[in-house]
Amino acid sequence: MDKHLVLIGGGHSHAIALKLFGAKPLSGVRLTLISDRSHAPYSGMLPGHIAGFYNFQECHIDLGQLAEFAGTQLLIDRAIGLDLESNQVLCASGEKVGFDLLSVDIGSTPAAISVPGAAEYAIPAKPVPELLAGWKQVVDRRTVSPGQPLRLGIVGGGAGGVELALAMVSRLKEMDREARVPVASVAIHLFHSGDRIVPAHSSRLGRRLQDILTRRGIELHLGEKVCEVQPRADRLGLGSPAVCVRCESGLAVECDRVFWVTQASAASWLLQAGLATDAAGFILVGDTLQSVSHPRVFAAGDVAAMVNYPRPKAGVFAVRQGKPLFENLRRVLLGLEVKPFRPQKQFLSLIGTGDRSAIASVPFLGGSFSCGPSPLLWRWKDWIDRRFMAQFRELPVRLPSN
């Protein structure tokens, strides 16, 4: 057997699959991982990183170390297309990588293109390196000029936007306390087009989080759909053109930085390659995680849309898909029949509140109930997240190929 398995993206599912390939390698199979970065962020710990609770290494998977363990070539490049007739991945560098079997796990990006000025003047939550680079600018400036008036905007009132807002206000106010300057100089505006935040969760959980946001001084703009992000002519705040966030209602709020955390969208080259996708551009896959149009292509994580089991874009599903993805990739390479995978319908959600506490949304009798905020729930979340990351540092002994 002489097969080439190519993995595009270092998402959670691929990280787990690579670890399993390293623990149980196949002889005669070459593996290549194409990623535009050497360290993959773990979404569960990113708000804690923003808040200052975790350093970079604690919340990022070292893809180089993982690839070495799995006997995989790591190609630092960005996939920009597929030639499905010639079985080739087209990369930004101009390189073309041939494959016998392909898997895609590149996540998603906020759908910001339709709003004028958002792509140019807002910082997207994904890809994560852009978010962290934008946040570092804020923190660096705050370190140099503590107490200077600072206005941040966050567009999107889902769990991601809420966690980001709470983490940011916690970190900035802690910095001001350490510098012994008034903490009232920080203003954060959260824009959400719906009438309540975290609409994917229960209304009770939403009310709890809304109360926390208000008590932390975060100004909520509910029922406000952002229609434009407009630069200002003068230079304010952080030393770059300040912007004005405009809403359809006529509301206009000036901000020094705007972070975009809205509904997810997919990379355009997936549809252009000829893969079957859903209306949002995500790869349609069957129960075996194979593309419904091209069975030699697998997909997992946010970039995949299961036809029979539609689920929200949440990291828990990417984690759960890792082992089934590995098993079916291995089965195809060995010429065996693939097995279906059925994701769970409900899942535990632990939402950090930026102060080493968390709120839990717990499945119960077909619905859910919420509890917290509580430091105990944060410790539980912290334990879950650290245990997940530990598996990529404490790698097992590599077995001989079979």
Is residue 285 located within the same domain as residue 386? Answer: no
CATH number, domain containing residue 98: 3.50.50.60
- The boundaries of the domain holding residue 101 are 3-108+266-345
Task: Give residue-wise pLDDT tens across range 10-43.
Answer: 999 999 999 999 999 999 999 999 999 999 999 9
pLDDT, average across residues 361-367? 69
Is residue 300 located within the same domain as residue 370? Answer: no
Closest CA relative to residue 224, chosen from 256, 177, 189: 189
pLDDT exceeds cutoff 80 at 86:
yes
Residue that finishes a domain, picked among 240, 263, 286: 263
Is residue 129 located within the same domain as residue 238? Answer: yes
The pLDDT, as a whole number, for residue 365 is 57
Is residue 309 located within the same domain as residue 384? Answer: no
Is residue 275 located within the same domain as residue 304? Answer: yes
Instruction: Collapse the DSSP code of 376 into the 3-class scheme (helix H, G, I; strand E, B; otherwise coil) and give the result.
Output: helix
Catalogue the long-range contacts made by 248-256 (C-beta closer than 8 Å, 24 or more residues apart).
248/224, 249/223, 249/224, 249/225, 251/221, 251/224, 253/151, 253/153, 253/189, 253/191, 253/221, 254/151, 255/151, 255/152, 255/153, 255/189, 256/150, 256/151, 256/152
Residue that finishes a domain, picked among 263, 289, 309: 263
pLDDT, average across residues 277-304? 95
The 10 Å Cβ neighbour count of residue 179 is 14
Q: Do the beta carbons of residue 340 and residue 333 sit within 8 Å?
A: no
Is residue 221 located within the same domain as residue 313? Answer: no
Closest CA relative to residue 220, chosen from 299, 156, 130, 266: 156
Q: What is the domain count for the chain?
A: 3
Residue 367 confidence class, pLDDT cut points 50, 70, 90: low
H or E element in which residue 29 lies: strand 29-35
Task: Give residue-wise pLDDT tens across range 233-283.
Answer: 655 444 455 899 999 999 999 999 999 998 778 888 999 999 999 988 999
pLDDT, average across residues 114-140? 90
- 119 compared with 113, residue with greater pLDDT: 119
The pLDDT, as a whole number, for residue 236 is 46
Asked whether the CA dihedral 211, 213, 219, 220 is positive or negative, the reply is: negative
Instruction: Give me the percent of the chain exceeding a pLDDT of 90.
Output: 72
Catalogue the long-range contacts made by 336-344 (C-beta closer than 8 Å, 24 or more residues apart).
338/288, 338/290, 339/288, 340/286, 340/287, 340/288, 341/287, 341/288, 341/289, 342/287, 342/309, 343/306, 343/309, 343/311, 343/317, 344/320
The 10 Å Cβ neighbour count of residue 2 is 8
The pLDDT, as a whole number, for residue 237 is 44
Considering the chain, what is the average pLDDT of its residues?
90
* Paired sense of beta strands 3-8 and 101-104, if any: parallel
The pLDDT, as a whole number, for residue 356 is 96
- Whole-prediction pTM value? 0.90
The pLDDT, as a whole number, for residue 347 is 78
Is residue 259 located within the same domain as residue 126? Answer: yes
The 10 Å Cβ neighbour count of residue 382 is 19
Residue 355 confidence class, pLDDT cut points 50, 70, 90: very high
pLDDT exceeds cutoff 90 at 285:
yes
Q: Do the beta carbons of residue 98 and residue 5 sit within 8 Å?
A: no
Catalogue the long-range contacts made by 384-389 (C-beta closer than 8 Å, 24 or more residues apart).
384/44, 384/350, 385/42, 385/44, 385/45, 385/48, 386/58, 388/42, 388/44, 388/319, 389/42, 389/45, 389/58, 389/59, 389/61
Residue that finishes a domain, picked among 263, 279, 296: 263
Q: Kindly give, in sequence order, each residue whose CB lies less than 8 Å from that of residue 248, ignoring residues fewer than 6 positions away.
A: 224, 225, 227
